[in-house]
Amino acid sequence: MEVRVDAVANDEALLGLGAEDEGHRQRAIGAAFIMLDMVIGELDAMTKIGFMEFRKLPQNPRGQGLRPIGELPAIVDSLP
């Protein structure tokens, strides 16, 4: 059985919602993936992350199952 984590990046803080420059957005998305590689390691980022979504952070992130990036290494390490 394959188990993977889906990641959500806070679009507003990382990418600047409303930014007119699509090039800026694409560079920020690339930076988010590099940051993910640095936090959990490139192999885990490629094999254990199902997808990364960029959206505005909801009012109650924990209530929607979201966790801070600082918790991500332990979550990923607990996967088979």
- Residues paired with residue 9 on neighbouring β-strands, in sequence order: 54
pLDDT of residue 77: 92
- Residue closest to 9 by CA, chosen among 49, 41, 57: 57
Q: What is the pTM of this model?
A: 0.73
pLDDT of residue 1: 46
- Which two three-digit tokens encode residue 23? 């090039």
pLDDT of residue 73: 93
pLDDT of residue 3: 59
What is the pLDDT tens value at each position of the chain, 80 positions in all?
455 677 777 666 555 555 567 777 787 788 888 989 999 999 999 988 888 887 777 888 889 888 888 899 999 999 88
CA distance 3 to 27: 29
Asked whether the CA dihedral 53, 54, 58, 60 is positive or negative, the reply is positive
